[in-house]
Structure 1
C-alpha cells in the first residue's frame, strides 16, 4: 500500500523545512503555516524511491528535507501524473506538473531531472489533515 512517509512545512521563504507529524491542507491555499500560499504550487510531493535513486546516483546520503518538498510518499510512481487526482489520506490534490529542482538544489539538479525525480506540485482540491502513514492513491 502506498503511504505518506514524511511531511515538512517551510515557515519562511528560503527558510528551513520543519518536519511535522501532521499538516492541515486548505483548498486554494496550501499547508497551514507554510510561507507558500495559493497559486498552482499549493503542495509539493516527492517519491521516496525516486529520492533514493537520485542520492545513490550522487553517491551521497542526503536528508530528503533538502529537497524542500512538503510531502514524501512511498509506493506510488509520480511519473506522468500531470492532470491526475492524487489522494493523500482524505485530501485530494490536482497534480499540475513536474516540480523542477529549486535554486537551493543546484548540487543535485542533474540526478533529480530524470524520470520526475524532483516530484510534482499541485492544487489542493479537498482539504483536511494528513499524517505520516496515511494512504496514497490516484483516483
Structure 2
C-alpha cells in the first residue's frame, strides 16, 4: 500500500523547506502554514520517491527530496497523466490531482541537469487542491479514490 514518507512546507518565498512528522492540511493554507498553500490548483504538491530517485540517478547525485520543494513525498505510487482529476485519500484528507508539477530553473540551480531529469515521465510530481482537510503523518497510507 502506498504511504507518506515525508512532509514539508515553507513559510516564506525562497525559504527553507521545513520537514515535519505530522501536519494539518486545510483548504485555507494547504500543508501547515505553507506560503503557497492558498486555495487553487497548486495548493499542495506530491512527489513519488521512486520518480525522485530516478531523477537523482539520471544526474548522478543523491539529493535530499526537499530540493524538489514539494509538500509530500509518497512511496509506492508513481504519478502520470491518467491520475489528473483523480482524488487521493490520506486518512481524512482528500486531495484532487490537478496536473503535473513542472520543474523550474530552481531545480537547475540546485543541480545541473535536474530540471531536465524531472521533466521526464512526471518525475516532478503533481499539483493538488484540498477537497477535504485532514491531519497527516509520516507512514500514513494513501489511496486513489
Instruction: Compute the TM-score of the two structures, normalised by the length of structure 1.
Output: 0.95
- The whole-number CA distance in structure 2 between the counterparts of 1:26 and 1:8 is 14
Correspondence for 1:101: 103
Picking from 117, 123, 136, the partner of 1:117 is 123
CA RMSD in angstroms, aligned pairs only = 1.1
Instruction: Compute the TM-score of the two structures, normalised by the length of structure 2.
Output: 0.92
State how 1:59-98 maps to structure 2 within 5 Å.
59-80=60-81, 81-98=83-100
Shift of 1:102: 2.8
Deviations 1:36-73 (A, max 9, x none): 12221110000000000110011011110000000000
Q: Secondary structure at the match of 2:120?
A: helix
- The whole-number CA distance in structure 2 between the counterparts of 1:103 and 1:89 is 34
Shift of 1:117: 0.1
8 A contact 1:46–1:120 mirrored in 2: yes
Structure 2 unaligned residues grouped into runs of 5+: none
Correspondence for 2:34: 34
Aligned positions, number: 139
Q: Secondary structure at the match of 2:88?
A: strand
Correspondence for 1:18: 18
8 A contact 1:96–1:122 mirrored in 2: yes
After the TM superposition, list the runs of 4 or more consecutive aligned residues in structure 1 that deviate by more than 3 angstroms: none
8 A contact 1:28–1:123 mirrored in 2: no
8 A contact 1:6–1:73 mirrored in 2: yes
Structure 1 unaligned residues grouped into runs of 5+: none
- The whole-number CA distance in structure 2 between the counterparts of 1:88 and 1:103 is 31
Q: Secondary structure at the match of 1:35?
A: coil
